[in-house]
Structure 1
């Protein structure tokens, strides 16, 4: 089902319940990078916290943390995640964990001055995952976050979004939004609809609020683990989703 020699991108989410576990996870934001750097097969990785509510807020969610990583292929990723102590320890400490396996189809921009994703010549199919990463200029951070609560409400109410989460490396200024949609058409309709999201994008572009940005699209290949008590069916398009996907430009 999965193809070799194609870069694997994994998003691993961990939910911690107890105060002790949350303190441990917070500490790992500083210390886990050493163990991850020691994994020979890992290409790049990012340790991230998350936002509260729908995830797209400046208020941190102290229960949820994420590891975004890239690998030579899915098989290599799985072997490392099940064999390396750092990932085993995260699973042991967490109440819930879920990993989404992705293949990059397109990417534009940079992350920390580098291009972490290697787009493959593939048909994305259905569903489609979107990732936006940006470094917000500190002087406009308050303006930027003034737009976000309205966007968060719109995303949360959208019946088509299959999964969404807001994560980030540094609170307030380095943010990542990740979402999964039934197809390109529904994702495009949300992005282009004249509402809080479209107005925020226009404000960002007009004001040049971002110091650095990256937009990427992925094929969703597999999901392992549970989130909110169940394993989301993210690799299957809902029956109510809009058919006939169309191409969509990055936000």
Structure 2
């Protein structure tokens, strides 16, 4: 049986003067990242506020790395690696979380990065990761549908933090959010009218060429994001 993976998300905030160097790191750290033992999957990410999923959302002062590891020891090695050191040389803020997959469906770049975990109970805070590759000829309809859902998301009870994530400014869209509990995430996903309407339209209109949704247990977090640790509640 394949061991259950450990997932990490790192977010680095950089001062405005370091934005060009941060953009360069999106390419320059890839070789060193690929050499880390125990790494199953990794995506270097730009971030944004996720309100429109267009370039208007982009936050050039915050960058991320989502990674899937064989175990805790493999994830520990990232902290002492040239990859982390390179980001820390230019960062003025860092936040990270360790996560365990609770449920996942779909693919990311043709892979199932979080495996196929069996449904399980988790009483602590949970994170949700969504990612989609748009069918470009249908992108305009997707972008027009996003603002009501995003506005509702940021007002949803139990939401601790949410941001847009993406591997490219356009066409590759995703979100990362942290919630008080599975119940609060379920209430947004299934009971809030704007989100339910978009789910129906997605299936009917075929907006995505590839999509993924994952729910993850928040095992631990450290550091700050805009001065606080959002996973701490």
Same fold (TM over 0.5): yes
User: Aligned partners of 1:120, 1:75: CA distance in 2, in Å?
Assistant: 21
Asked whether the equivalents of residues 202 and 208 of structure 2 are also in contact (C-alpha less than 8 Å), the reply is yes
**Residue equivalent to 2:180:** 182
Structure number with the higher strand fraction is: 2
**Residue ranges of structure 1 left out of the alignment (5+ in a row):** 239-251
Map Cα deviations across residues 109-143 of structure 1 (whole Å, 9 max, x no partner).
11111111134455322212111111111111111
**Residue equivalent to 1:35:** 32
**Residue equivalent to 1:57:** 53
Choose the corresponding residue for 2:200, options 199, 202, 207: 202
User: Aligned partners of 2:84, 2:42: CA distance in 1, in Å?
Assistant: 13
SS in 2 for 1:170: coil
2:81 paired with 1:84: yes
**Residue ranges of structure 2 left out of the alignment (5+ in a row):** none
Asked whether the equivalents of residues 11 and 66 of structure 1 are also in contact (C-alpha less than 8 Å), the reply is yes
User: Aligned partners of 1:24, 1:64: CA distance in 2, in Å?
Assistant: 12
SS in 1 for 2:85: helix
- Residues 131-170 of structure 1: matches in 2 within 5 Å? 131-170=129-168
User: Aligned partners of 2:130, 2:179: CA distance in 1, in Å?
Assistant: 14
Choose the corresponding residue for 2:23, options 26, 37, 41: 26
User: Aligned partners of 2:52, 2:97: CA distance in 1, in Å?
Assistant: 19
Give the 3 Å change call, closer, same or farther, for CA 17–55 of structure 1 in structure 2. Answer: farther
Choose the corresponding residue for 1:115, options 105, 112, 126: 112
User: Aligned partners of 2:200, 2:207: CA distance in 1, in Å?
Assistant: 10
Asked whether the equivalents of residues 49 and 61 of structure 1 are also in contact (C-alpha less than 8 Å), the reply is yes
Number of residue pairs matched by the alignment? 228
SS in 2 for 1:43: strand
Asked whether the equivalents of residues 123 and 181 of structure 2 are also in contact (C-alpha less than 8 Å), the reply is yes
User: Aligned partners of 1:15, 1:128: CA distance in 2, in Å?
Assistant: 23
Asked whether the equivalents of residues 168 and 174 of structure 1 are also in contact (C-alpha less than 8 Å), the reply is yes
Map Cα deviations across residues 140-168 of structure 1 (whole Å, 9 max, x no partner).
11111111122221111223101211100
Cα RMSD after superposing both structures: 1.8
Asked whether the equivalents of residues 56 and 177 of structure 1 are also in contact (C-alpha less than 8 Å), the reply is no
Asked whether the equivalents of residues 129 and 175 of structure 2 are also in contact (C-alpha less than 8 Å), the reply is yes
Map Cα deviations across residues 144-199 of structure 1 (whole Å, 9 max, x no partner).
11111222211112231012111001222111111122222221211223532222
Q: Which moved more, 1:60-69 or 1:154-163?
A: 154-163
Asked whether the equivalents of residues 9 and 104 of structure 1 are also in contact (C-alpha less than 8 Å), the reply is yes
**Residue equivalent to 2:72:** 74
